[in-house]
Chains A and B, each alone.
Chain A
Amino acid sequence: MTQLLLFNVTNGLIIGVFYVLMALGLSLILNLSNVINFAHGGFLVIGGYIAYSVTPYVGFWGALLIAPPLTALIGFIVERILIRPLYGRDPLYGLLLTFGLAFIIEDGTRFIWGAQGKPVTVPAVLARPLSSELFFITGYRLFMVVTTIIVVALLFAILRYSRLGIRIRAGTLDLETVAAMGVNIRALRSLNFAAGVFLAGLSGVLAAGQLGLEPTMGTGLLMPSFVAIIVGGVGSLTGTLIGGLLIGVASGVTAVFLPAASEAVIYVLMALILLLRPRGLLGEEGMMT
């Protein structure tokens, strides 16, 4: 039983890392633009399908490099045309718009690529487990973890040390003052939105290697990402990181004792944390990191 539990904790951390990647993109957009992006799962799907489409020409590694920036470009255009007019309005407008956009993306994907799932094969070198005992740690899953760690480290470094990152963080605290200091906040928001969507696109490519690629795949991955943000605390990227790992482990451990509740447990965890600490684990209004 101890071994089973340890296996599931480890496995939960691996799953949690993926939630972190999704949730950080969501969190970036929410923190600066105040947009609850329900289309984030849709952008994940777009990333996956772009990867599927370009893989025959450039291979998996090429697709991994091409798909996320292309998805980010789509996100940039969407922000420019649809999201920007809603800034300054009630957040409900943005929520409703992205909610509708999620359906449009799902049906659009179905229209372009068909309702039937698409097979995505990962490179043979990644498609095997480390050992027969630790079968759930495959080369591909390790690759996902390492990729996420690198991307998260880069993101935190950019936010901490680059001018763009500092402006994003400052904008999260007081956007009006940032604007008064001459920063083009329109461009800042666009870039920030595109960065969030980039992470969704990257999640899509990585997910397509492990899951079945189909138009609805983003839906199931979106809600845990929202939960990760709420558990970690809205406004805190570090909190989002911890929240993602926590719900991954909670889900994995619950699967040992009560498999049918492995999905519900993350919402129970969210409710408990909201009861005990309504702002989330690291959430402080107006704080970013």
Chain B
Amino acid sequence: MAAPIQSGWLDRRAILKGAAALGGFAVGSPAIISARAETPIRIGLVDPLTGVYATYAQNEVIGAKLAVTQINAKGGVLGRPIELLVEDSANDVGTGVQKARKLIERDEVTFLIGDVNSGIAQAIAQVSNEKHVLHIVSGGHTDTITGKDCKWNVYRVCNTTSMEANSICDVLFKQYGKKWHFITPDYAFGHTLQQAALADLTKLGGTMTGNELTPLGTSDFSAFLIKARAANPDVILVLVQGSDMVNSLKQIVQFGLNTQVHVAGLQQELESLEAMPPEARIGIWMFEWYWKQPGVPGVDQFVADIRKVNGGKVPTARHWFGYTSVHTLAGIANQEKTLDSLKLAKALGGFELPPEIKLQPNKCYYRAGDHQLMTSAFIGEAQAQGKDDPEDLFRVDKVIAGDTTAPPVDQTGCKAEWPA
């Protein structure tokens, strides 16, 4: 048998092995993003960078990175730079929990942020609570996170599903009618959003003609739409999000259903509107933050800053969530001059965001009783085309303060147990 041919000290196989090892290292390493120093303060961010909510998650990361850059440029936190470690939950609860544990136990993050998916956010809140890590839920909306499952160490930036429903249901009732049919995503977020909307509808004197629970990631909504149309509602309320929102609205318009019944929903996002053809951008919705707010301090600067790191595109609510989450953690730590999670969690109750962070006209603060940010709701209508800017796809009619849409603390079911 012939002996293997040796071609010097570095043969092709060695190069391939080396390249593979380097690639594996690059993939396996955490995404270390910002300033490096001897002892940086680490913030872990768990979000679904892949899956149906990937766009939202990636925008949260961009917003968080911008905040990290700004904070480090101003001296960091307690004189130390901060560092963002990003992990992909892959829109899967098990993976999210595993990544949260890895960030806390192996990477020793001081703070945790995430997740877009309510189910994952709830699950990793259990982990952060067990490990006593201050945690901000950036984009998971289900009520229970700051309701019956609230925890001393968990705060939330985005609205609750009840706040969303309370901000818009009366508008929909007045303008579209009293018989509602829901297209609801079949998981925690969808369930609580639909329940909150139904509660408001009942109070207003309306009726529900049906509720189609659709599996997350549904691509074809035709069967649900046939059923919804047969129920003869005044309005079809689309509660699904992400690519499901795009698919459902696209199909509704192709079917011409929007010419037969009203079509609207509660939460809408710029990412979804941009992914739709113009004719599918219809209906009255609630945005959690919008980039066009003439006269509101700091907004133009934030838009300009995000455009620089976002391929020229404007910020969405998700950018603002990530940005606000990081600034909240840094702001409270600098204010209290400590990294002790218990002290910081106590101090965050009532903490008011400064104008350059809140970026909205109303007062914006974390409510002490349930740890929910009292952030505004932007009510308006989707626009097929932007007038002055191609990304101006939403006309804001009114901005409602968070503390007028949030249910009173005693109705949230939140009874956080604090450590001794």
Residues of A within 8 A of B (CB): 3-4, 7-8, 11-12, 14-15, 106-107, 110, 114-122, 127-129, 132, 135-136, 138, 140, 207, 210-217, 219-221, 251-252, 255-256, 259-260, 262-264
Which single member of A121, A136, A214 contacts B222 (CB below 8 Å)? A136
Which single member of B50, B251, B259, B277 contacts A119 (CB below 8 Å)? B277
The 9 sampled A-B contact pairs (Cβ below 8 Å) are A116-B275, A128-B256, A138-B254, A210-B251, A210-B254, A216-B50, A216-B51, A221-B219, A260-B186
Apart from A12-B223, A15-B222, A129-B254, 12 more pairs, CB < 8 Å: A116-B271, A117-B276, A119-B277, A121-B277, A136-B226, A212-B243, A216-B217, A220-B218, A259-B223, A260-B213, A260-B214, A260-B215
Cβ of B356 under 8 Å from chain A: no
Q: Mark B41-60, 1 if CB is under 8 A from A, else 0.
A: 00000000111101100100
Q: Which of A119, A122, A215 has the most CB of B within 10 A?
A: A119
**For residue B54, which residues in chain A have a CB less than 8 angstroms away from its CB?**
110, 115, 214-216
Q: Is the CB of A119 within 8 A of B227?
A: no
Which single member of A8, A119, A215 contacts B276 (CB below 8 Å)? A119
Q: How far is the CA of A119 from the CA of B277 in the complex (A)?
A: 5
Which single member of A3, A4, A136 contacts B255 (CB below 8 Å)? A136
> In the complex where A135-B257, A136-B225, A220-B217 touch, is A211 in contact with B275 (Cβ < 8 A)?
no
Cβ of B279 under 8 Å from chain A: yes
> In the complex where A119-B275, A135-B255, A135-B256 touch, is A263 in contact with B215 (Cβ < 8 A)?
yes
Q: Is the CB of B227 within 8 A of A212?
A: no
> In the complex where A214-B275, A260-B213 touch, is A117 in contact with B55 (Cβ < 8 A)?
yes
**For residue A129, which residues in chain B have a CB less than 8 angstroms away from its CB?**
254-256
Cβ of B149 under 8 Å from chain A: no
Closest B residue to A3 by beta carbon equals B230
Closest B residue to A4 by beta carbon equals B230
List B55-76 residues whose CB lies under 8 Å from chain A: 55, 58
Q: Mark B240-277, 1 if CB is under 8 A from A, else 0.
A: 00010011001100111101100000000001101111
Closest A residue to B225 by beta carbon equals A136
Cβ of B229 under 8 Å from chain A: yes
Interface size on B, residues (CB 8 A): 45
Cβ of B212 under 8 Å from chain A: yes
Residues of B within 8 A of A (CB): 49-52, 54-55, 58, 186, 212-215, 217-220, 222-227, 229-230, 243, 246-247, 250-251, 254-257, 259-260, 271-272, 274-280, 311
Closest B residue to A219 by beta carbon equals B217
**10 nearest CB pairs, A to B:** A117-B275, A212-B246, A255-B223, A121-B277, A260-B213, A119-B277, A263-B215, A135-B255, A116-B55, A115-B54
Which single member of A110, A138, A255 contacts B227 (CB below 8 Å)? A255
Q: How far is the CA of A118 from the CA of B277 in the complex (A)?
A: 8
**For residue B274, which residues in chain A have a CB less than 8 angstroms away from its CB?**
116-117, 119
Q: How far is the CA of A29 from the CA of B306 in the complex (A)?
A: 46
**For residue B259, which residues in chain A have a CB less than 8 angstroms away from its CB?**
132
Q: Which of A15, A106, A136, A210 has the most CB of B within 10 A?
A: A136
Q: How far is the CA of A15 from the CA of B257 in the complex (A)?
A: 19
Q: Which of A120, A132, A216 has the most CB of B within 10 A?
A: A216
Q: Is the CB of B247 within 8 A of A212?
A: yes
Q: How far is the CA of A263 from the CA of B185 in the complex (A)?
A: 13
Which single member of A8, A140, A217, A251 contacts B243 (CB below 8 Å)? A217
Q: Is the CB of B277 within 8 A of A120?
A: yes
Q: How far is the CA of A215 from the CA of B246 in the complex (A)?
A: 13
**For residue B257, which residues in chain A have a CB less than 8 angstroms away from its CB?**
135
Give the shortest distance, in Å, between B176 (CB) and chain A (any CB). 19
Q: Which of B215, B225, B274, B311 has the most CB of A within 10 A?
A: B215
**For residue A114, which residues in chain B have a CB less than 8 angstroms away from its CB?**
311
**For residue B277, which residues in chain A have a CB less than 8 angstroms away from its CB?**
119-121
Q: How far is the CA of A115 from the CA of B243 in the complex (A)?
A: 11
Q: How far is the CA of A256 from the CA of B251 in the complex (A)?
A: 18
Q: How far is the CA of A106 from the CA of B243 in the complex (A)?
A: 15
Q: Which of B58, B246, B278 has the most CB of A within 10 A?
A: B246
Q: Is the CB of A117 within 8 A of B186?
A: no
> In the complex where A211-B247, A260-B186 touch, is A11 in contact with B276 (Cβ < 8 A)?
no
> In the complex where A117-B275, A252-B223 touch, is A214 in contact with B243 (Cβ < 8 A)?
yes
Q: How far is the CA of A132 from the CA of B260 in the complex (A)?
A: 8
Give the shortest distance, in Å, between B311 (CB) and chain A (any CB). 8
Give the shortest distance, in Å, between A140 (CB) and chain B (any CB). 6
Closest B residue to A10 by beta carbon equals B226
Q: Which of A212, A213, A263 has the most CB of B within 10 A?
A: A212
Q: How far is the CA of A216 from the CA of B254 in the complex (A)?
A: 22
Give the shortest distance, in Å, between B187 (CB) and chain A (any CB). 10
**For residue B230, which residues in chain A have a CB less than 8 angstroms away from its CB?**
3-4, 7
> In the complex where A138-B255, A263-B215 touch, is A115 in contact with B55 (Cβ < 8 A)?
yes
Q: Is the CB of B215 within 8 A of A121?
A: no
**For residue A140, which residues in chain B have a CB less than 8 angstroms away from its CB?**
254
Closest A residue to B51 by beta carbon equals A216
Closest A residue to B231 by beta carbon equals A4
Give the shortest distance, in Å, between B346 (CB) and chain A (any CB). 37
Q: How far is the CA of A211 from the CA of B257 in the complex (A)?
A: 16
Closest A residue to B252 by beta carbon equals A135
**For residue B212, which residues in chain A have a CB less than 8 angstroms away from its CB?**
255, 259
**For residue B229, which residues in chain A have a CB less than 8 angstroms away from its CB?**
135
Which single member of B220, B254, B272 contacts A127 (CB below 8 Å)? B254
Give the shortest distance, in Å, between B133 (CB) and chain A (any CB). 28
